Structure 1
Amino acid sequence: MSNRPIDYAHPQKLAAQHARRAIWLIALFLIAVVVWAAISSLDEVVVGEGKVVPSSAVQRIENIDGGLLNEIYVQEGQRVEKGDSLLQMEQTRFYAQLNEGQHELDALNAQIFRLTNELDSVQVSSDKMPWVVVNATSLEKPADMPEDIWLRTEQAYYARMSLLRSSANQTFETITQQTQAIAEQQANISALRQRLQLLNKEISMTENVVESGAVAEMELIKLQREQVSVSGELNRARANMLQLEAAKQQAVEEHKNVAFDFLATTRGEINQKRVDRAKVIENIKGLQDKVDKTHLRSPVTGTVKNIVKRSIGGVIEPGQPIMEIVPLDDQLIVETRILPKDIAFIAVGMPAKVKLTAFDFVVYGGLEGDVVYVSADVQQTEDGEPYYEAHIKTHDSTIAQQSIIPGMQASVDILIGKKTVLQYWLKPLLRAKQTAMREP
């Protein structure tokens, strides 16, 4: 047997050691938990409830001019693509006005065509004959001009050219007469000048003879009297010549003015016709637009609803709603109601997660989106509950290849920031500290 003494305190020491180890382990665990809570963050979200609406407003189909309903091509709830035919309205009255406007446009185009050719058919010279040339050329029919209008246009062109030529010929006849009178007067002046020269020579010779006494002085006086008479006649002829030349120049100006007046009037008519044509073209555009709008097409891809008029031949008042198209292929907007206590943390641009109640979030997930609108003032529900409205625009319009339709209910988580786990734990304590030692 061993004589070693028994240590009765050993079990107590072991127990103490185990206790200290446990305390250290617990302390280390608590420290690790606190450190983890201090550095680990969680999303801080504001939760709201809302419903899906298209980013484009519901399209109301109407006709601004009204009329009779001829045919309707769609039914309530039918899906339509952008550009699909919806209905056809009566268009006879607009076609009649459009045809009348087109006929007026054809007539104006023909008149401008004729007037332009009339300008090209008249030439005026300022300094030499012929002063006015009227050259009625052979017109070439424009391809788009109706035959009946072309015949009237061609006849009017040749008639006006003939009338202008007749007027020009009348004034030119006056010029011809004045030219002939000038030629006759020039011949008369030439004869008088020669006669005067002979008289002067005869008087000179007679003066020498009179001095010698061979001829009586009376003969010299007769010659001198005739010299004075011829000289006066020559002066009158020259004065008359100036008058004839002035008259001829006036006749030339009147002759040219016939053409100038015609050209000025024609240019003025062309300008006025072009103004009238511009007005008619605008009127035709408006009428064509009215004709086009009698055939109503869907402005968007969507679903037909609220068809008001169904009876063929029924009267549709101007601006009266006929049906509505709810857009489908569009980015979605979730109109979300936010409690007033949470609105201070929400701003445009914040990310959000949209969870549709029609699709199990665990199976299908949600839609990512962003806050695009926050109402500036509080609103109220029908029950009087206050709320702010926020709009969330989703990045996709489908979920798991499933279509999302307007009206679906959704739960929206708006990410307003991040907090550590420790801040979440301390929040109740901090709230309690703020309310402690106060009597309600």
Structure 2
Amino acid sequence: MRPTDHLEDDAPRWAGDRGPGGFGPQGAALILELQKLRRAFDEEDWSPRKPADGKRRSPEPPRRRHATAPKRPRKSRVAKAIDACLQQIGLRAPEHKEQPRELARAAAPAPPQRPSPTLAPHDPLTMDLVKLAPEIPMSFAPNRSMRLEQAGPALPPPAKSATRPGKFLASCRHGLITGVNFVIKGGELAPPPADSGLSLKTSWSFHRELRTGLRILLIAGLLGGGWFFFMPLAGAVVVPGNLVVQSNVKTIQHPTGGVVAEIKVQNGSRVSAGDLLVRLDATQAQASLQMVSKQLDEVRAKIARLTAERDNLPQLGIPPELVSRAHDETVTNLMASEQSLFKARFSARQSQKELLQSRIAQLDEEVAGLEVQVDSRAKQLELIKGEMAGVQDLYDKRLVPLARLTALQREAARLDGERGQLVSSIAETRSKVGEAQLQIVRIDQDFRTDVVKELGDSEGKEAELVERGVAARDLLDRIEIRAPTSGVIHQLAAHTIGGVVRAGDSIMEIVPNSEDLQVEARLQPQDIDHVHTGQAAFVRFSAFNQRTTPQLKGTVSYVSADTSRDQQTNAPYFTVRVTLPDEERRRLADLQLVPGMPAEVFMQTGSRTMASYLFKPIAEQMRRAFVEQ
């Protein structure tokens, strides 16, 4: 007997009105599975049991036993239920026939081994068809067997291992090699003959479909794994934004504020650059300008007078700034006043000089009188000296007394002293003349010094008044608030004639009529390292139909240098602007872009695989979890 004869001989024969092939392929497969299930329970009932203590007994030498007749097998409850199901479709379980004691002893098979928990011995999914192929018997020809093409080497028996992990690995290896050989081998079972058994027909059909399905699953798994681990997926930073004008919305304000006198526009009005929007009350601005202008004219007239006095001119001229208004009454009065002051100051200086001149003349006359007296004393002294010489000769001759000689000497000394006193008086008087002449010169010098100092102060004041005049004129010019650019009026805040506009408050906004539109988005600080100028970005306008509106491609044109903060939430953000080319905007066809329209911006970043998206966050969390604080 061949080792594979039990595939046909040991299978129970089922009796009925029609064979299993009469139920169709699906019915035949179901009947075959029920037969296998019943036979499995029969084998389980006859399988050897382990001892109660769970220990393997030591082998003992075989003892001579008397041959006994085999016992009649006992059906289990599951076997009885399966027989009942088969009988409902006209199949009866075979009757057990007792064999003679000698034949039973001779043909008694060895006790069946307990089937593997992972591989069934005759399961068509795992049995090695290559090894069993040469000896599969045919029901219609006992000497003819089914031929299988050899696809590969025979499966080696699993190595025995003493440990549970070893047994598990060996079992996995054996199952893997069996499955690979079953799926990828090129040869296929030849279809069995028409009169072959139900088991062979069902096994052949099942193996072919199973192999095809497994191949499809394997190819799909390889493609999916390749896409999962190697296909790059582009990343993106998604931020909300809105459409803005490249030149920004223009806010209309007033630096000093005022009272509203006239309102020319309203919300939604279209204006051109230079159009009048609002006129404020000009009373205060005009008064301030007139006051500054008057002070400036006075200072300029004064500067003209001081300049003439500095240069010692006989009369002053009209300043160049006032020539155009020379016939103006205000200017005429100013110049007349300065002319009078110029003459008065000149007359005062002349009077002081004339007084000093007369004083000098008086001193000169005194000097002349003193000089005459000096000459007289000199002549008297010469006469006395001559008389003293004659008296001295007479005194030497003892002709006159000594008293007379002494009296002459005394008179000569007196005259000499008076002459010296007169000379001293002449020098003192001449000194007074020099002082008077110096005072005359000092009058001009002091006057010129005062004039120059006053002229400098006046010129400084003139410059200050000029600046104040420019500011006052600018304030007067700003009384009429005009449009800085063409656009549409938005958020008008002034609605009342006579209402007060505070300094720096927003009066209205003008949305420019410009086609240079950009998308402005607020980027979170943690994403700033993924965005840079010149980076590609995609824009989707949520206000349009998403199914028919294309996604526009733009370029990041601006990234703010530092963070800004939201006025309501105080959250920091970076301002990013995306420019849309004209060819991209033309893709919108008839759709019109309006400033303020919401949009979504997708800024492309580096590419990553799906495995990186799934496993990198887990790896990062594990790395942080195992860091000691």
Same topology, TM > 0.5: yes
Q: 1:349 aligns with which of 528, 531, 552?
A: 531
Q: Is it true that 1:335 corresponds to 2:521 in the alignment?
A: yes
Q: State how far apart, in whole Å, the 2-side matches of 1:379 and 1:175 are.
A: 86
Q: State how far apart, in whole Å, the 1-side matches of 2:311 and 2:391 are.
A: 68
Q: State how far apart, in whole Å, the 2-side matches of 1:219 and 1:432 are.
A: 150
Where does residue 141 of structure 1 map in the other structure? 318
Specify whether residues 73 and 217 from structure 1 end up closer, same or farther in structure 2 by C-alpha distance, changes over 3 A only: same
Q: Name the SS of the counterpart of 1:115 in structure 2.
A: helix
Where does residue 236 of structure 1 map in the other structure? 421
Q: State how far apart, in whole Å, the 1-side matches of 2:379 and 2:619 are.
A: 144
Q: State how far apart, in whole Å, the 2-side matches of 1:380 and 1:69 are.
A: 31
Q: State how far apart, in whole Å, the 1-side matches of 2:446 and 2:567 are.
A: 76
Q: State how far apart, in whole Å, the 1-side matches of 2:620 and 2:429 are.
A: 123
How far did residue 424 of structure 1 move?
1.9
Where does residue 16 of structure 1 map in the other structure? 187
Root mean square deviation of aligned Cα: 4.6
Q: State how far apart, in whole Å, the 2-side matches of 1:433 and 1:271 are.
A: 81
Contact 1:51/1:410 (8 A) holds in 2: yes
Gaps of 5+ in 1: 1-7, 122-135, 382-386, 436-440
How far did residue 431 of structure 1 move?
8.2
Specify whether residues 260 and 426 from structure 1 end up closer, same or farther in structure 2 by C-alpha distance, changes over 3 A only: closer
Q: Is it true that 1:309 corresponds to 2:494 in the alignment?
A: yes
Q: Name the SS of the counterpart of 2:321 in structure 1.
A: coil
How far did residue 301 of structure 1 move?
5.1
Q: 1:280 aligns with which of 452, 465, 470?
A: 465
Contact 1:50/1:337 (8 A) holds in 2: no
Structure possessing the higher relative contact order (Cα contacts under 8 Å, 6 or more residues apart): 1
How far did residue 288 of structure 1 move?
2.0
Q: Percent sequence identity over matched residues?
A: 22
Where does residue 105 of structure 2 map in the other structure? none
Residues 155-184 of structure 1: CA deviation (Å, up to 9, x unaligned): 322221121111121122212221222233
Q: Is it true that 1:168 corresponds to 2:359 in the alignment?
A: no
Residues 3-59 of structure 1: CA deviation (Å, up to 9, x unaligned): xxxxx9799999739x99xx9999999989977886653421133333234577654
How far did residue 324 of structure 1 move?
2.1
Where does residue 292 of structure 2 map in the other structure? 101
Where does residue 232 of structure 2 map in the other structure? 41
Q: State how far apart, in whole Å, the 2-side matches of 1:344 and 1:73 are.
A: 48
Where does residue 476 of structure 2 map in the other structure? 291
Contact 2:556/2:579 (8 A) holds in 1: yes
- Write the mapping of 1:357-372 to structure 2, written as runs, cut at 5 A: 357=542, 365-369=552-556, 372=559
How far did residue 118 of structure 1 move?
1.0
Contact 1:397/1:403 (8 A) holds in 2: no
Q: Is it true that 1:405 corresponds to 2:582 in the alignment?
A: no
For residue 599 of structure 2, what is the amino acid of its counterpart?
A
Q: Name the SS of the counterpart of 2:317 in structure 1.
A: coil
**Larger Rg belongs to:** 2
Q: State how far apart, in whole Å, the 2-side matches of 1:345 and 1:395 are.
A: 20
Specify whether residues 199 and 84 from structure 1 end up closer, same or farther in structure 2 by C-alpha distance, changes over 3 A only: farther
- Write the mapping of 1:193-232 to structure 2, written as runs, cut at 5 A: 193-208=378-393, 211=396, 223-232=408-417
Q: State how far apart, in whole Å, the 2-side matches of 1:220 and 1:113 are.
A: 79
Residues 79-117 of structure 1: CA deviation (Å, up to 9, x unaligned): 445554422222133112212211111111111221122
Contact 2:486/2:512 (8 A) holds in 1: yes
Q: State how far apart, in whole Å, the 1-side matches of 2:540 and 2:399 are.
A: 152
- Write the mapping of 1:19-34 to structure 2, written as runs, cut at 5 A: none
TM-score, normalised to structure 2's length? 0.53
Q: 1:245 aligns with which of 430, 434, 442?
A: 430
For residue 187 of structure 2, what is the amino acid of its counterpart?
A
Q: State how far apart, in whole Å, the 1-side matches of 2:472 and 2:349 are.
A: 40
Q: 1:424 aligns with which of 581, 588, 610?
A: 610
Q: State how far apart, in whole Å, the 1-side matches of 2:618 and 2:350 are.
A: 113
Q: 2:576 aligns with which of 384, 387, 392?
A: 392
TM-score, normalised to structure 1's length? 0.72
Specify whether residues 38 and 364 from structure 1 end up closer, same or farther in structure 2 by C-alpha distance, changes over 3 A only: closer
Report how many aligned residue pairs link the two structures.
402
How far did residue 357 of structure 1 move?
3.7
Where does residue 318 of structure 1 map in the other structure? 502
Q: Name the SS of the counterpart of 2:314 in structure 1.
A: coil
Q: State how far apart, in whole Å, the 1-side matches of 2:368 and 2:568 are.
A: 108
Gaps of 5+ in 2: 1-145, 152-184, 189-207, 327-331, 622-629
Q: State how far apart, in whole Å, the 2-side matches of 1:167 and 1:397 are.
A: 87
Q: State how far apart, in whole Å, the 2-side matches of 1:378 and 1:110 are.
A: 57
Q: Is it true that 1:67 corresponds to 2:258 in the alignment?
A: yes
For residue 88 of structure 1, what is the amino acid of its counterpart?
R
How far did residue 215 of structure 1 move?
8.1
Contact 2:306/2:451 (8 A) holds in 1: yes
How far did residue 393 of structure 1 move?
0.6
- Which deviates the most, 198-207 or 31-40? 31-40
Q: Is it true that 1:414 corresponds to 2:603 in the alignment?
A: yes
Q: Name the SS of the counterpart of 2:481 in structure 1.
A: strand
Q: Is it true that 1:115 corresponds to 2:306 in the alignment?
A: yes
Q: State how far apart, in whole Å, the 1-side matches of 2:284 and 2:148 are.
A: 118
For residue 277 of structure 1, what is the amino acid of its counterpart?
E
Q: Is it true that 1:154 corresponds to 2:339 in the alignment?
A: yes
For residue 604 of structure 2, what is the amino acid of its counterpart?
L
Q: Name the SS of the counterpart of 2:492 in structure 1.
A: coil
